[in-house]
Amino acid sequence: MKSEISSVGPQAIGKKGFRRFSETGISTYLMLSPFVLLFIVFSVYPVLASLRLSFMRYNAICNPDQAPCGSVGFGNYATLIFHDDRFHKALSNTVLYVIGAVILGMIASLSLALALQEDTRANRILRVIFFLPSVTSGIAVVLVWGWVFRGDGVGLLNAFLNIFGVAPIEWLATTWMAIPILIFMSIWGGAGFGMILFLAGLNSIPAMYYEAAVIDGAGPRQRFRYITLPLLRPVMVYVGITGIIGAFQIFEGVYLLFPTSVGSIGGLRDMALMIVPYLYDSGFNKFRLGYASAIAWILFAIIFLVSMINLRITRSLEDLK
């Protein structure tokens, strides 16, 4: 009898049914299994399937393992990297957009957080106003900005300029304006979200640091440089990485504002062509699904590499402290 009690264990004595069964951990895995199964079927498998398709010529009609489809090895990747001028244009446009949207967006978010840091009724109302674009439908926002930047007299911006006698401007048909317009829309829509994160970081900084700095004679610039910025570094890293990931995946603005007359995407001379719209154009307009899968994996590699570099630089700066 004693051996049986010792084999069960002192914690299991007096526990019956589900309580004793749950302590073994089996019930935990059983309850998680439906989610894990759905995750594997709808997330893991499509990702692995797209990796397989990236090494194939596939148009969604023929059998992937038979002619004219079939394996091309690294042919899709080689074509993209060395021979596809549209991909090079999309990559260069995306890099310019990411640099402008992320850097200017972080500056705008931090500026709003500093300006609205004081907990007053007016500041709380302004925080809500600036945050609203972040939770508004992206397509609705893009359509509104499309009306603002319309090239005829109906466009809001041209109607405003017409009051001062300025002729209508083709905002969405001017090559050099495409990326600045997209950057402006990104800042307008995302600065409020970054503002909330920076506000949380600012409120977590102990007030005694600023009080000690004031006693030592530090001015506002010195306090911002030597106290605020260093202690906000984790928030800046998070905002920067999430901003980079989101900026690389821009789609709605390009798709809705810069279509072309031939059913493609990117505007005149691909002035606003980005990587994700080019992926969509290759896969769902031209039915080059294997080629589009290769674009997706190159985009993943770029985002992963940039994120790792950002984290490594941040850790190196922390080690130097």
pLDDT value at position 261? 65
Q: How far apart are CA 197 and CA 134, in angstroms?
A: 13
Closest of 44, 47, 71, 40 to residue 58, by C-alpha: 71
Least confident of 55-64, 155-164, 279-288: 55-64
Place of tokens 């609203």: 132
Q: For residue 86, what pLDDT band results from cuts at 50, 70 and 90?
A: very high
Q: Do residues 141 and 150 lie in contact, with contact meaning Cβ atoms separated by under 8 Å? A: no
- Cα 264 from Cα 138, distance rounded (Å): 21
For residue 152, the model assigns a pLDDT of: 81
Residue 236 CA, chain-centre distance (Å), reads 15
> With contact defined as beta carbons under 8 Å apart, do 15 and 23 qualify?
yes
For 167-219, what is each residue's pLDDT tens digit? 889 999 888 999 999 999 999 999 999 999 999 999 999 989 999 999 988 88
CATH superfamily of the domain spanning 78-320: MetI-like (1.10.3720.10)
Residue-level pLDDT at 1: 44
Residue 15 has pLDDT above 80, yes or no: no
Q: At what angle do helices 289-320 and 75-82 cross, to 10 degrees?
A: 70
Q: What angle do the packed helices 178-203 and 233-248 form, to 10 degrees?
A: 150
CA 43 to chain centroid: 19
- pLDDT bin (cut points 50, 70, 90) of residue 19 is low
Supply the DSSP symbol for 70: E
Ordered by start, the domain boundaries in the chain are 2-42, 78-320
pLDDT band at 23 (very low <50, low <70, confident <90, very high): low
Q: Distance between terminal CA atoms of the chain? A: 63
Q: How far apart are CA 213 and CA 223, in angstroms?
A: 7
- Quote the pLDDT of residue 101: 96
Q: What's the whole-number average pLDDT of the chain?
A: 87
**Helix/strand/coil for 306:** helix
Nearest to 199 by CA among 134, 125, 129, 111: 111
How many Å apart are CA 119 and CA 266, to the nearest integer? 44
Cβ atoms within 10 Å, residue 38: 10
Given a cut of 90, whether residue 295 has pLDDT beyond it is yes
Residues for the chain: how many in total?
321
Give me the pLDDT at residue 260, please.
Answer: 78
Range 13-23 average pLDDT? 52
